[in-house]
Structure formats: structure tokens, C-alpha cells
Amino acid sequence: MVPLVVCAAAAFLGALATIAFYAPVEAVQGVAQKIFYVHVPLAWCTFLAVAALLAGSIGTLWRRRPGADRLARSAAEVGSVLATLVLLTGSLWGKAVWGTWWTWDGRLTSTLVLWFILVGYVLYRSLAEGPPETTARTAAVLGVIAAADVPIIHLSVTWWRTLHPEPVVMRSGDFGGGLPGSMLATLLVSLGAFTLLAAALLVLRVRLAEVEDRLEAAAVERALR
């Protein structure tokens, strides 16, 4: 656990240095464009967290494994934090470039829907009072719904006319073709660092869920004695 956190922190600082000193200043947007190097990796990590949520939810619904449920609820919480940061950094970038904090276009709205689902998941897990099995399975359905929103978010900019730009990195048949080399390199460094950081947060949260379950099981055992 500690090596992962140390690696993540080192990579994160390295990425920030790369963004500050290596990435060029974009001609039209100026320095505000550098928000791109944290906004996009945060969105990527949110999608990874939702992928973990989906895996955990399927494991809970199909095999009813406690480990899968722990993964799902941990990923939902980490995903909700990351999605919040995506929306906040995107809003700041939008104000700097578009002149508005928010607009109801496809990409922004579908991301907001994902945020509501993730926050709803976290609230439901912390407030539900029914049998734990039922809570876990109901939440797993919510997790699958959250995952179904991810392709909608990704494709929203091609499905609808939006203010949000179309993909510049994940373009079919032209990976990274929309970016100069130095910007692409900086983005890849940042993506790696944020992925490590998200992994560290998820591992830490799963560890917390293990302790929670252990305590709850011990309390039930004591009550039954």
C-alpha cells in the first residue's frame, strides 16, 4: 500500500512539473488550456472507477461475493470524488474559454447525470437500513446504470451538436492525432500519474471497506452469542 501511495505521489508531482515546465502554452487559449492536463485525466480516472464499479456490481449480482461488493462501493465513492473534480475543473475551464460556468450541452449534462448516479449510490449505501444483501444488490443495479452512462458521455459530442470539443486523443484510426507531440506527451504523463493516484485511492478505500465489514461481522457475532 505504502509503495503505491509513494509512487502515485511522485508521479503526480512529476506530472505537475511536466505541465508547468514542458507543456507549451497554447496560442489561442493561453495558460488556461493547461487545465486540459488535469481535466482529461480526471475524466479518464472517473471512467476507470466506474469500470471497477461495474465489475464489482456484476460480481455482486452474479456471484454474490462480498469482495465484489466492497470493490463496488469503494469504486463508487472514489468515482464520485473524481467526477466532482471533473465537473469543477471543467467549469473553470469553460468560464475561461467559453465565458460561461455551465451550459446544458450533451457532454456536460451526461457527466452531471453520472455524478448524480454516483452520489446517489454513495448516499444509498450509507443511509439504507434494509438487509445488507438487498442493499448490496439494489446498489449493484445502480452501479450497472452508472456504467451505461459512460458510453453516452463519450459519444455525446458526436451524437449532438455541443460546445464541448470533439475527442482530440481517442479518435478512431488516429490516436493522439489532434495534438502536437509535446502536448500529447504531457497528457500521457499526466494520465499515468492520475491512474496511479486513482488506483492508490481505490486500494485505500477497499482496505477501509474490509475493516468496516470485519467490524460489522464481529458486532453481529457478539449479538448472536
Q: Other CB atoms closer than 10 Å to residue 5's CB: what's the count?
A: 16
The single-letter DSSP state of residue 30 is B
Q: Does 192 bind other proteins (CB under 8 A)?
A: no
Q: Taking CB under 8 A as the rule, does residue 207 contact other proteins? A: yes
Phi-psi category of residue 63: left, alpha or beta, with phi > 0 → left and psi -120 to 50 → alpha: alpha
17 binds other proteins per the rule CB under 8 A: no
Q: Which is nearer to other proteins, 32 or 185 (CB)?
A: 32
CA distance linking residue 156 with residue 110, whole number of Å: 8
Alpha helices in the chain (DSSP H): 2-21, 36-62, 66-97, 106-127, 132-159, 181-224
Q: How many Å apart are CA 100 and CA 91, to the nearest integer?
A: 8
If binding means CB under 8 A, how many residues of this protein chain bind other proteins?
49
Does 85 bind other proteins (CB under 8 A)? Our answer is yes
Chosen residue from 58, 89, 152, 184 binding other proteins by CB under 8 A: 89
Decide whether 7 or 85 has the Cβ nearer to other proteins.
85
Residues in touch with other proteins (CB under 8 A): 16, 30-32, 34-35, 38-39, 42, 60, 63-67, 69-70, 81, 84-85, 88-89, 92-93, 95-96, 132-133, 136-137, 197, 201, 204-205, 207-208, 210-222
